[in-house]
């Protein structure tokens, strides 16, 4: 690595050094409490998969360039130069961490390894050493925001096709405009993922609840966040913020995508609309008596996987359970306390990397598969697309015999007409 590149990367490193980050980088007592907390280590016990070990790779570079001790006495400070070799280590650390933050809830100092890994990801982006496909997907999302007119007609035509499917299955609830788009003055803007599975059941529930809603032109997923690029993350997010402001909605409801929800909730700043997950919205409809569910349609044992970005990292824990109380006859918890639930093993962009990460995802989530098996559930439902894909892969790989469903689909399929 040439000196100019190193200096550029160190500037990126420095941009991440707020007070919290410095605390995370300077506090670890090496107590080892986080060791067993990481699903990767618990499934594949190798030192490189210990949370504190991953963090140490970043910490040593921090000591070398941002602490006097590392500059003057590198061996004492256990510091490390930023080299191509270091970048390889950073890649392995960052892309074997799903950002689930289970280690953080066990750490006595609350050290956030996911945040430390965000430095690693940013350095990789700066060195053009990140998984290229994630940046390409992020750029495609940004381009859509910049040239919406090109996409508009095609999008509206595909929505028309979906409307027919909603009417066919949920005639009574369909209402006049089955899937409203670009409706100024709507109360709620629903941001879905690309694909019928994310739009059709949600439309059925909104219409059943007589919601004044409109569908976003944009897909919720934020590849900028997966790749750890703050600039791209913001540009992708801003498309939705701009649309919500233009339509003057009171609420932005994010579909079943954990990262999209956390990014929208935590990074959109002070806005004249509130941000909700679709799970929160459904729980509200039930509480207000706007929808009713028929439990008898779900007599078999069901468990719920809390997506890390929605539960542990954004606090949505009670709402899915409130829905499930009205939705299924035999509900079984995965973990005694949801905040300590194992990660599915697919977050942090790993599912988005598809087949390339499949072997690692299956091996590193062995403990998750065992946790599901122990419940005896026939169905695992969840509220995140990444988790759904990963849990489906796990079910097939470990022959769990469980069907994986989206919570929204179960709600839609159990609506009392
Ligand atoms: S639990 Fe916290 S303090 Fe202990 S080794 Fe892990 S990161 Fe360091
Ligand atoms: S955030 Fe999750 S995957 Fe990453 S080190 Fe911590 S427990 Fe492991």
Mean residue pLDDT across the chain: 94
SS3 400: coil
Distance CA 144, CA 11 (A): 30
Tokens of 113: 């390894």
Write the CATH number for 115. Answer: 1.10.1060
Domain end call among 253, 287, 321 = 287
Cα separations in angstroms, 323 against 95, 283, 285, 294, 304: 34, 6, 10, 11, 11
- For atom 3 of ligand 2, the residue with the nearest CA is 97
Domain end call among 115, 130, 145 = 130
- Is residue 170's pLDDT more than 80? no
Cα separations in angstroms, 412 against 69, 206, 282, 305: 60, 10, 10, 19
Domain end call among 75, 98, 130 = 130
- Is residue 191's pLDDT more than 90? yes
Q: 142 with 263, same domain?
A: yes
Evaluated on CA atoms 93, 96, 99, 100, the torsion sign reads: negative
Can you list the alpha helix ranges (DSSP code H) found in 221-294?
Answer: 223-227, 230-247, 258-267, 278-287
Distance CA 55, CA 34 (A): 11
Q: 91 with 143, same domain?
A: no
Q: How many residues does the chain have?
A: 417
Q: What separation in Å is there between the alpha carbon of 172 and the centre of ligand 1?
A: 55
Q: What separation in Å is there between the alpha carbon of 371 and the centre of ligand 2?
A: 17
70 vs 382 pLDDT, higher one:
382
Rounded average pLDDT over 12-34: 95
Tokens of 126: 């700066």
Among 294, 310, 399, 293, CA closest to 347: 310
Assess whether the C-beta atom of 52 lies below 6 angstroms from ligand 1: yes
Which of 17-21, 53-57, 162-166, 240-244 comes out lowest in average pLDDT?
162-166
Rounded average pLDDT over 264-289: 96
pLDDT for 417 = 76
Rounded average pLDDT over 388-406: 97
pLDDT for 177 = 78
Q: 318 with 405, same domain?
A: yes
Assess whether the C-beta atom of 28 lies below 6 angstroms from ligand 1: yes
pLDDT for 3 = 94
Q: 271 with 330, same domain?
A: no
Distance CA 44, CA 364 (A): 6
pLDDT-derived band at 119, boundaries 50, 70, 90: very high
- Cα-trace Rg, the chain: 22
**Using alpha carbons only, what angle is made at residue 81 by residues 78 and 84, rounded to the nearest 5 degrees?**
135
The model's pTM: 0.94
Q: 107 with 144, same domain?
A: no
- For atom 1 of ligand 1, the residue with the nearest CA is 107
Write the CATH number for 189. Answer: 3.40.50
Assess whether the C-beta atom of 249 lies below 6 angstroms from ligand 2: no
The boundaries of the domain holding residue 344 are: 295-413
Q: 61 with 149, same domain?
A: no
Give the other-Cβ count within 10 Å of 374's Cβ: 11
pLDDT-derived band at 161, boundaries 50, 70, 90: confident
Q: What separation in Å is there between the alpha carbon of 214 and the centre of ligand 1?
A: 45
Assess whether the C-beta atom of 29 lies below 6 angstroms from ligand 1: yes
Q: 103 with 234, same domain?
A: no
Q: 67 with 80, same domain?
A: yes
Q: Cβ(323)–Cβ(286) under 8 Å?
A: yes
pLDDT for 74 = 57
Q: 157 with 275, same domain?
A: yes
Provide the number of structural domains found in the chain: 3
Render 85-119 in DSSP notation, one character per residue: HHHHHHHHHHTT-----HHHHHSTT---HHHHHHH
Distance CA 351, CA 306 (A): 17
- For atom 5 of ligand 2, the residue with the nearest CA is 51
- Is residue 64's pLDDT more than 60? yes
Which of 75-84, 196-205, 269-278, 354-363 comes out lowest in average pLDDT?
75-84
Tokens of 174: 């369909």
Q: 114 with 171, same domain?
A: no
Q: Cβ(16)–Cβ(119) under 8 Å?
A: yes
Write the CATH number for 320. Answer: 3.40.50.10700
End-to-end C-alpha distance for the chain, whole angstroms: 64
Q: 148 with 269, same domain?
A: yes
Assess whether the C-beta atom of 111 lies below 6 angstroms from ligand 1: yes
pLDDT for 173 = 57
Q: What is the pLDDT of residues 217-233, one digit of tens each?
A: 999 999 999 999 999 99
Q: 250 with 301, same domain?
A: no
Distance CA 338, CA 89 (A): 32
pLDDT for 175 = 60
């Amino acid at each position: 690595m040439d000196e100019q590149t190193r200096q550029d990367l160190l500037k990126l490193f420095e941009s991440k050094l707020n007070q919290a980050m410095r605390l995370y980088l300077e506090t670890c007592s090496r107590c080892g409490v986080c060791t067993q907390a990481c699903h990767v280590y618990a499934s594949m016990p190798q030192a490189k998969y210990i949370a504190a070990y991953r963090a140490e790779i970043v910490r040593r570079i921090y000591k070398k360039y941002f602490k006097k001790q590392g500059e003057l006495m590198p061996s004492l400070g256990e510091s490390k130069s930023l080299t191509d070799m270091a970048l390889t280590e950073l890649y392995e650390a960052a892309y074997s961490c799903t950002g689930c933050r289970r280690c953080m809830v066990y750490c006595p100092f609350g050290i956030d390894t996911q945040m430390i890994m965000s430095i690693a990801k940013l350095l990789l982006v700066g060195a053009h050493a990140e998984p290229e496909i994630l940046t390409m997907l992020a750029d495609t999302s940004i381009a859509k925001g910049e040239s919406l007119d090109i996409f508009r007609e095609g999008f509206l035509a595909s929505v028309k096709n979906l409307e027919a499917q909603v009417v066919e299955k949920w005639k009574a609830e369909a209402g006049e405009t089955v899937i409203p788009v670009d409706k100024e003055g709507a109360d709620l803007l629903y941001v879905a993922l690309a694909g019928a599975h994310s739009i059709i059941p949600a439309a059925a529930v909104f219409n059943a609840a007589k919601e004044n809603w409109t569908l976003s032109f944009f897909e919720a997923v934020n590849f900028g966040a997966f790749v750890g690029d703050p600039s791209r993350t913001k540009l992708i997010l801003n498309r939705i913020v701009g649309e919500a402001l233009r339509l003057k909605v009171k609420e932005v409801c994010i579909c079943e995508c954990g990262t999209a929800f956390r990014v929208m909730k935590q990074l959109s700043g002070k806005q004249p609309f509130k941000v909700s997950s679709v799970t929160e919205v459904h729980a509200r409809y039930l509480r207000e008596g706007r929808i009713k569910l028929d439990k008898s349609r779900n007599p078999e044992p069901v468990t719920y996987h809390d997506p890390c970005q929605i539960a542990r990292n954004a606090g949505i824990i009670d709402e899915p359970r409130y829905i499930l109380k009205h939705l299924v006859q035999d509900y079984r918890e995965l973990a005694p306390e949801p905040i300590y639930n194992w990660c599915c093993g697919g977050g942090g962009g790993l599912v988005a990397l598809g087949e390339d990460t499949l072997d690692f995802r299956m091996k590193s989530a062995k403990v998750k598969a065992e946790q599901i098996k122990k419940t005896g559930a026939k169905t695992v439902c969840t509220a995140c697309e990444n988790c759904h894909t990963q849990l489906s892969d796990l079910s097939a790989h470990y022959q769990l015999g469980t069907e994986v469903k989206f919570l929204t689909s179960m709600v839609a399929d159990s609506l009392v007409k």
